[in-house]
Chain A
Amino acid sequence: MKKFSHVNALTIDEAVSILRRYGDRASLIAGGTDLLGKMKDRILSRYPEALVNLKTIPGLDFIKEENRILEIGALTRLEDIAIDQTVRGGYAALAQAANRTASPHLREMGTIGGNICQDIRCWYYRHPNNRFPCLRKGGGRCYAIEGDNRYHSIFGGSVEEGCYAVHPSDTAPALIALDAEIRTSKRTIKAGDFFQVEVTKTTVLDEDEIVTKILVPRPPENAKSGFVKFALRKTIDFPIVNCAALISSSEGKVSAARICLNAGYVKPYRASRAEEVIVGKTFNEADAEAAGSAAVSEAKPLPHNGYMVQIAKTMVKRAILACG
């Protein structure tokens, strides 16, 4: 890696002031598993001049439940979330999603705040030494449309940026299905509004904004949540498609549903068509499959990723059945 300066922030305010001073020339580092890979490969034309270490800020690593709201500090490691009994009990989709993220080692390092703020994995974007200066880097074109797009969006590209790279997070769909909120140094944002496609950005966060904690309301007693993921290998790999669902039922019939797919679109993709179809039905293969078909009814696959439509459909079906 090239040389950079390194600052240990001791408070959120200090980190914010350093970010303001450096503008976009500084990067935040928490677990570092995403950022260091980007820096080693020099995928961006601009190398960070400074890293601001958030791990030295006390009080951001906790899991607690108060007044039926689960609070998770932004620096909480994914492994701690995956094994926490409270999370596993009341917020199964989140625990399962954290447990399926990357490999055991990376879960011991990566934080929940970093997981939702991670960058895209498009192989043109990530190619070493900025070989493909694509739209997402402020360049001229998307290389995936004409190139090998087997892991790209099946629901079309981003209208603003023309980018087809999918959002790779596993915890993001779980947080959206559980209707979580993300508290930052400035405001509170609904998980569903948190993700955005912009040049070198995947979230709505401002340049000087830092995620501090995640708030998840406890699902009602008659609700169950679940998370399923399809990846080439069981661990280490990013998802081809994943899906989280939160389904309330009364007397065996679905009364409300929140279903979110990820890694199939440029942002986490709320499967609202599937939600409409499954409400009022019982938990059975045929209805779950119908909901899966509805979820992908608006799919516009690229030349090489038609198979992902089938996977997305099956993921929705399995996520629904996992909540039964």
Chain B
Amino acid sequence: MKEAMSKFLCPYCSTTFGVFEELKAHAISDHKTESVPAPEGLIRLTVNREVHEIQVEPQWTLNYLIHDRLGLTSPKMFCDRGACGSCTVILDGRPILSCMTLAIECDGTTIETAEGIAKSNHPLLDSYVKHHTMQCGYCTPGFITTSKAFLDRNPNPTEEEIREALSGNLCRCGTYPQHPKAVLEAAKNLREG
């Protein structure tokens, strides 16, 4: 487990714990109590296969949590109104906009960002580089996450389906024609292993 950013104080002996689960175990074994209630806003989520337990504020968006608190900078903040797709992350298999999701509502979810896809050596990476699917690159992580979620559901897509799936991602450099080519090739490489 990744080091937690919150400190939890035992209500009986004031010992501090980095992880809430440890405090819980401590209260049960050392103080013979039932359990201590979890503090409000404490969430546990899996980001790129790492479990994070973190105390969040209700007004934090998922983008703020991932980008500014966990330091994974691939979900980009651009429009902040759910209109551009730059902040896309994969939440429980769905490509969603992290700017329009509250972090506090993501308790128990599994999230994948472009960093996680890069680590898994997904064929999308090579095909995106090969087809030069970026210019400034700011929108690229959003496209990659959307494409990955799409290929997970549809391993043998048509060009039309790819265009539809990526239609919520905006690119102001105008790299649009390259994306269907890159995704088609990645799909082919995925199928052929």
* Residue ranges of A at the interface with B (Cβ–Cβ < 8 Å): 1-6, 8, 29, 32-33, 36-37, 40-41, 51, 53, 55, 77, 79, 102-106, 108-109, 234-236
Question: Within 8 Å CB of A3, what residues of B?
Answer: 57-59
Chain B residues 77-114 with CB under 8 Å of chain A are: 80-83, 85, 88, 94-97, 100-102, 104-105
A104 engages B95 (CB within 8 Å)? yes
CA distance A108 to B82 in the complex (A): 12
B100 engages A37 (CB within 8 Å)? yes
B85 engages A105 (CB within 8 Å)? yes
Question: Within 8 Å CB of B41, what residues of A?
Answer: 6
B168 engages A105 (CB within 8 Å)? yes
A106 engages B168 (CB within 8 Å)? yes
**B167 proximal to A (CB < 8 A):** yes
Q: A32 and B102 in contact (CB under 8 A), knowing A105-B95, A105-B168?
A: yes
A103 engages B59 (CB within 8 Å)? no
Question: Within 8 Å CB of A4, what residues of B?
Answer: 58-59
**B133 proximal to A (CB < 8 A):** no
> Hey, what's the 0/1 contact readout for B48-86 against A, CB within 8 Å counting as 1?
000000000111010000000000000000001111010
Extra contacts besides A40-B80, A79-B94, A235-B167 (16): CB < 8 Å: A1-B61, A6-B58, A6-B102, A6-B104, A6-B105, A29-B105, A32-B105, A36-B82, A37-B100, A40-B81, A51-B58, A53-B105, A104-B167, A106-B100, A236-B83, A236-B168
Question: Within 8 Å CB of A55, what residues of B?
Answer: 105
* Residue ranges of B at the interface with A (Cβ–Cβ < 8 Å): 41, 57-59, 61, 80-83, 85, 88, 94-97, 100-102, 104-105, 146, 164-168
CA distance A36 to B105 in the complex (A): 13
Question: Within 8 Å CB of B96, what residues of A?
Answer: 105, 108-109
CA distance A6 to B94 in the complex (A): 24
CA distance A21 to B146 in the complex (A): 40
A33 engages B82 (CB within 8 Å)? yes
CA distance A232 to B9 in the complex (A): 55
Q: A105 and B146 in contact (CB under 8 A), knowing A32-B100, A33-B82?
A: yes
Question: Within 8 Å CB of A109, what residues of B?
Answer: 94, 96-97, 100-101
B167 engages A103 (CB within 8 Å)? yes
B168 engages A235 (CB within 8 Å)? yes
CB distance from A209 to the nearest CB of B (A): 22
Question: Within 8 Å CB of B97, what residues of A?
Answer: 33, 105-106, 109
Question: Within 8 Å CB of A33, what residues of B?
Answer: 82, 97, 100
CA distance A32 to B83 in the complex (A): 14
CA distance A235 to B168 in the complex (A): 7
CA distance A305 to B146 in the complex (A): 36
CA distance A256 to B83 in the complex (A): 39
CA distance A235 to B166 in the complex (A): 10
CA distance A105 to B81 in the complex (A): 12
B168 engages A36 (CB within 8 Å)? no
CB distance from A38 to the nearest CB of B (A): 10
